[in-house]
Amino acid sequence: MEKYQTLLYYCYSTIENAEQFAADHLEFCKSLGLVGRIIVADEGLNGTVSGTREACQAYMDAVHADERFAKTDFKVDEVDEPSFIKMHCRYKPEIVHSGLRDPRVIDPNKETGKHLEPKDFLEMKDREDVVILDVRSNYEHTVGRFKNAVTLDIENFREFPEKIKELEQYKDKKILTYCTGGIKCEKASALLLKEGFNDVYQLHGGIIKYGKEVNGKDFEGQCYVFDNRLTVDVNTVNPSVVSTCRNCGAVTAKMINCANPECNEHFTQCDDCGWEMEGCCSSSCMEHPRKRTYDGTGYYVKVPQPVNVDKISKRKHKNRPAAARES
């Protein structure tokens, strides 16, 4: 039995003083010995954390004990070693960058697509009146996607709203949206409903939960994840590899980051080309003076920027009424 676990989760729930919450939550995670990446926003939490089984259980218990996050659905992976090297927790405007910040326009707590459990998604996905929609970015669906899924040419989820017009041909269909863990579908499906798509669904728990509960049937390739594993297997029923090496065209499921930090592109590259190209996507990147040392993984640790508590305090003081500051 593996000694470690990796938790993937999110929760849309209003957090007051979210910047201070991020600072406090970082210290709490460190006290448990966890490593990972958490985004905190006024609208909720989005995280992947990793640690011992005991630490992960203590973390889940603490999150569920907070009434704001009691509904959080944790996807739990058993792993041989922690999936991160460091722990960081940052405040951002959104827990997933969509550009849809105004809760008067999009609020997943009020309206979103109908949640489909994996077994129901599996039963519905091949019907003639259904369209499966992948709302993830190019580098994610390139390495793995559902059979017959509609994919979008986007580099980042914030581009999704611009693609709505391309989907109008499917307005008379049932739209089944999916993503890695479900978080992007909350806003994507809400936006589709706002734009006049009447029958919109989302895969509850995303690809990760689908793999755990129905063995990932008909998911082709691997699932991109946002930790040092980069991709994980999902399908144990009819697995396949759908991605090819950027450089030679050989079939490969291996995804890396370009060794040139100013490029840092996510792309698929076979082991032979990886060593020959030193983990770079092109010859020009190979010549870059800041090129990182390739160790065969193509994963490079980003140095996290800690939450600046002093800066938060100064900002709050500045925003207080003048009379209060002078007292």
The pLDDT tens digits for 259-287 are 999 999 989 999 999 999 999 999 999 99
The CATH code of the domain at 4-91 is 3.30.70.100
pLDDT at 327: 37
* Mean local confidence (pLDDT), 158-181: 95
Whether this model's pTM surpasses 0.95: no
For residue 102, name the pLDDT band (cuts at 50, 70, 90): low
For residue 232, name the pLDDT band (cuts at 50, 70, 90): very high
Which among 179, 245, 258, 273 is annotated as catalytic?
A: 179
Beta strands in the chain (DSSP E): 4-12, 35-41, 44-52, 75-79, 87-91, 114-116, 130-134, 144-146, 174-178, 200-203, 219-221, 223-224, 231-232, 255-257, 266-268
Distance of CA 51 to the CA centre of its chain: 19
How would you classify the pairing of strands 255-257 and 266-268? antiparallel
Contact 225, 180 (CB under 8 A): yes
Contact 150, 227 (CB under 8 A): no
When computed from its CA atoms, the radius of gyration of the chain, rounded to whole angstroms, is 21
Please give the Cα distance from 53 to 62 (Å, whole number). Answer: 14
**Which residues of the chain form CATH 3.40.250.10?**
114-224
Alpha helices in the chain (DSSP H): 18-31, 53-65, 118-124, 138-143, 183-194, 206-214, 271-276, 283-286, 309-319, 322-326
Is the pLDDT reported for residue 167 higher than 80? Answer: yes
For residue 132, name the pLDDT band (cuts at 50, 70, 90): very high
Please give the Cα distance from 244 to 267 (Å, whole number). Answer: 9
Phi/psi class of residue 103: alpha, beta or left (left: φ > 0; alpha: ψ in -120 to 50)?
Answer: alpha
* Mean local confidence (pLDDT), 314-318: 46
Mean residue pLDDT of the chain comes to 90
Tens of pLDDT, residues 4-49 = 999 999 999 999 999 999 999 999 999 999 999 999 999 999 999 9
Q: What is the DSSP letter of 157?
A: G
Is 263 considered catalytic here?
no
Phi/psi class of residue 318: alpha, beta or left (left: φ > 0; alpha: ψ in -120 to 50)?
Answer: alpha
For domain 114-224, give the CATH superfamily.
Answer: Rhodanese-like domain (3.40.250.10)
**Which residues of the chain form CATH 3.30.70.100?**
4-91
Distance of CA 263 to the CA centre of its chain: 20
Please give the Cα distance from 233 to 229 (Å, whole number). Answer: 10
pLDDT at 129: 97
- Structure token digits, residue 249: 């065209």
Contact 13, 42 (CB under 8 A): no
DSSP three-state, residue 315: helix
